[in-house]
Amino acid sequence: MTPPLSARVPTAARYSATAMVLHWLLALVIVTMFVVGVYMTDLPFSPQRLKLYNWHKWAGVTFLALTVWRMVWRVTHRPPALPITVTRNMPGWQIRAYHATHHLIYLLFFAVPLVGWAYSSAAGFPIVWFGQMPLPDLLPVNKELAELIKPLHKLMALALLALAGLHMAAALKHHLVDRDGLLSRMLPTRS
């Protein structure tokens, strides 16, 4: 009988509880922000649309703050290396793709909210975080620049969603096809 996947990955090879919480929280925020972002852009100008835009901006700033926290955590708490049982069975291109995908995801974790903030600033819509804390504008009001930035924010958000989907597909492949326990490193254990 094959032991459960969580039993095949040593405790030391697992991510910390903080890293797991930040990982899954950021994943939830990405999906939620994308769904809200797509929905709100198709709404006619209304109080509901303005409210959703504000929530989207608040979530973006919160996402950026969580990303900073995650990066600080990652720098101060080294993530576990890929288990040798996994790297031994992965072709070199998959290992390079693994690292490249993670680096691009982290880059977009910063770029997407910062470009959204820049767009909001250039469009003349200040961000008041949760309706309480006015945040500084990143750019002066410039409607022409805002129109150039807007599609960049959307394109980068789509790229982030695509990379997150690729990341998820690879994790599921390791879990369901390879059955190598890789995904269990990011899942809480059952006591």
Q: Please write the tens of the pLDDT for every residue from 59-104.
A: 999 999 999 999 999 999 998 988 888 888 889 999 999 999 999 9
CA distance 108 to 82: 23
The full set of domain ranges for the chain reads 5-186
Smallest CA-to-CA distance from 30 within 73, 75, 62 is with 62
Smallest CA-to-CA distance from 173 within 103, 104, 94, 101 is with 94
- Selected from 2.40.10.10, 3.40.50.1820, 1.20.950.20, 3.40.50.20, the CATH number assigned to the domain covering 5-186 reads 1.20.950.20
Q: Using a cut of 0.85, tell me whether the model's pTM lies above it.
A: yes
Smallest CA-to-CA distance from 112 within 169, 1, 37 is with 37
Q: Is the distance from CB of 182 to CB of 171 less than 8 angstroms?
A: yes
Tell me: the pLDDT tens digits for 128-165? 999 899 999 999 999 999 999 999 999 999 999 999 99
CA distance 105 to 179: 25
Q: What is each CA distance from 12 to 5, 6, 190, in whole angstroms?
A: 15, 12, 16
**Per-residue pLDDT at 83:** 85
**72-79 long-range Cβ contacts below 8 angstroms, 24+ apart:** 73/16, 73/18, 73/19, 73/22, 74/19, 77/16, 77/18, 77/19, 79/15, 79/19
